[in-house]
Structure 1
């Protein structure tokens, strides 16, 4: 069941992501969708804070995968926008999904057939210059429970 979170500014978006990051566990998979500039990397910065990662989080647009291993759990931030014709087998993405950390995939619809069956999909929509609507779609019991915990806290 979809849930919604309205953010009035970048700070609120990051705070929500930070709360989510505090509850993430090994093997969690988050899919981020949204137009260019919607706030996917900003959201990931908040997740990193929640995972106690101190490094500056940058967009993985040209590197495909950025790894942050200095926090409570490793964070694997992926941008698959340019990989529409590649498979996760060729890139080793499945190893990340089943690995020792948390995976965040931007533009995941390009590899939809290659994704594990359970994940939390977050679509970020611009409502105003600063305001964002986060549409949260948990797929699988783990993510239903996770989302309920985050929204209640």
Structure 2
């Protein structure tokens, strides 16, 4: 197996990185993207404005996929095909999942996620799910959770840890 220093091993220590600017967040995403392979699932967590989409823009650059990266909040998922032989990037925003159904009753987030058929993409893509912790962990037996937090000085801190199925 290829050494992937930013991707924590199962049971390994979390990886922490300070990201003072948006450009640093994107550069970190690119560095991480160069380590990812088809089948990797990233669960992106953090408050609004923490830098989740900026991190995915970097992932896209590191994975060398095509198309501009924007938050998929209203379309739920966007696929970015590879420019070469690498994996595609599927960028999902789970923030709006679990809303009210047509009849006004609450919908099941897990069922909505299943309807996207993301697990069928895993053999050829990296899947990054904003707001995915606790929801999209079921896509793979092991995922990488990336938690982005903002300190008072606006510096972002990224923490990567391995997240597995219970």
**Shorter-normalised TM range:** 0.7 to 0.9
Q: Does residue 46 of structure 1 match 2:58?
A: yes
Matches within 5 A, 1:1-153: 1-71=13-83, 72-84=86-98, 85-86=108-109, 87=111, 88-96=113-121, 98-112=122-136, 114-128=138-152, 130-139=154-163
Corresponding pairs, count:
139
Greater fraction helix: 1
SS at match of 1:58: coil
TM-score (norm 2): 0.76
1:1-34 deviation digits (Å, cap 9, x = unpaired): 2221111111111111111111111111111001
* Aligned residues: CA RMSD: 1.8
- 8 Å Cα contact 2:43-2:146 kept in structure 1: yes
Q: Which has the larger radius of gyration?
A: 2
Task: Give the distance between the partners of 2:47 and 2:88, measured in 1 at CA.
Answer: 26
Task: Give the distance between the partners of 1:8 and 1:139, measured in 2 at CA.
Answer: 26
- 8 Å Cα contact 1:10-1:130 kept in structure 2: no
Structure 2: any 5+ residue segments left out of the alignment? 1-12, 99-107
After TM superposition, which residue ranges in structure 1, 4 or more long, deviate above 6 angstroms? none
